Copies of this chain bind each other. A is one copy, B any other.
Amino acid sequence: MPLASLVWKLEQFVRLSPVDHVFLHRAATERVRHFAPRVDIVREGEKPTDVHLILSGWAYRYKQLEDGRRQVVSFFLPGDICDVNVFILREMDHSIGTITAVSIADLSREFFDKVAAEHPRIVTAFWWETLVNAAIQREWIMSLGQRTALERIAHLLCEIWLRLRLAGLTRADNCDFPLTQGDLADATGLSKVHVNRTLQELRAEGLIVLKGKTLSVPNLDRLMRAGLFNPNYLHMDHEGRQLDAVGTPSDVVAG
């Protein structure tokens, strides 16, 4: 069920009612679109009309300078919402592109009006999603401004790992990892060559195994230390529920 990741994630934070569930489910199955890998979903300058919910696949948000310099500004994983309420803006200030094949559900203005009027728990959950996304952006700023190449990459891998885990998308100690070294370079502000050097270093220290399109993290704790990673900014806990309390990948969200 492709909606699982979103509901799963939101329920970390707010207990949704059965009515909420039905409502979300309908919204997420009504207007669904599918995209090939490596295509743009939305382009800078366009008028935003809908909010996009990622049902499956990976995507990213990026900005580009006229001379071609390109920066990935965030990654979208299954269950992520692209920007609650963007349609109140006149035009997009960035683009959104797919990494893998992606399915999205379009959420309309009316959907959000209805949420606001009739589903207070979902409102809260969406605010949580919005605030966490803002916190992630801040942490990226921290990484780009202060962390070394090795710390940056280690940090990013930790973040992706935890976000995937929250969406129920990790296996024992590994997960799908469709990003190329070029993608990592665009996200970390490093050159491709240096990303490669740095990945070698992480491998040499046994912090990651990255081959084909899967990433293994033999020891998350060590990787977190290498990236100076403090998970507080993901706000994965609420009312006493702690991230650590949830143990291994599979039962993470059991709650």
Residue of B nearest to A84 (CB): B127
Q: Is A29 an interface residue (CB 8 A)?
A: no
Kindly state the separation between the CA atoms of A147 and B69 in the bound complex, as whole angstroms: 9
Q: What 0/1 readout, one digit per residue, does chain A (14-54) give for beta carbons within 8 Å of chain B?
A: 00000000000000000000000000000011000000000
Stretch of A86-94, A170-178, A195-203, A247-255 lying at the B interface: A86-94
Kindly state the separation between the CA atoms of A237 and B145 in the bound complex, as whole angstroms: 30
* A146 engages B70 (CB within 8 Å): yes
A93 touches which of B61, B65, B135, B144 (Cβ 8 Å): B135
Please report which residues of chain A, range 132-157, place their CB below 8 angstroms from some CB of chain B when the two chains form the complex.
Answer: 133-135, 137-142, 144-147
Kindly state the separation between the CA atoms of A233 and B94 in the bound complex, as whole angstroms: 8
Interface size class of A (residues with CB under 8 A): 35 or more
* B83 engages A127 (CB within 8 Å): no
Residue of B nearest to A14 (CB): B88
Question: A88-B124, A127-B88, A138-B94 known; A146 and B69 CB under 8 Å?
Answer: yes
* B93 engages A233 (CB within 8 Å): yes
Residue of B nearest to A124 (CB): B88
Kindly state the separation between the CA atoms of A233 and B89 in the bound complex, as whole angstroms: 10
Q: What 0/1 readout, one digit per residue, does chain A (64-106) give for beta carbons within 8 Å of chain B?
A: 0110011101100000000101101111011000000000000
Kindly state the separation between the CA atoms of A215 and B79 in the bound complex, as whole angstroms: 45
* B128 engages A88 (CB within 8 Å): yes
Q: Which residues of B contact A130 (CB under 8 A)?
A: 130
Question: A94-B138, A238-B90 known; A228 and B85 CB under 8 Å?
Answer: no
Q: Is A4 an interface residue (CB 8 A)?
A: no
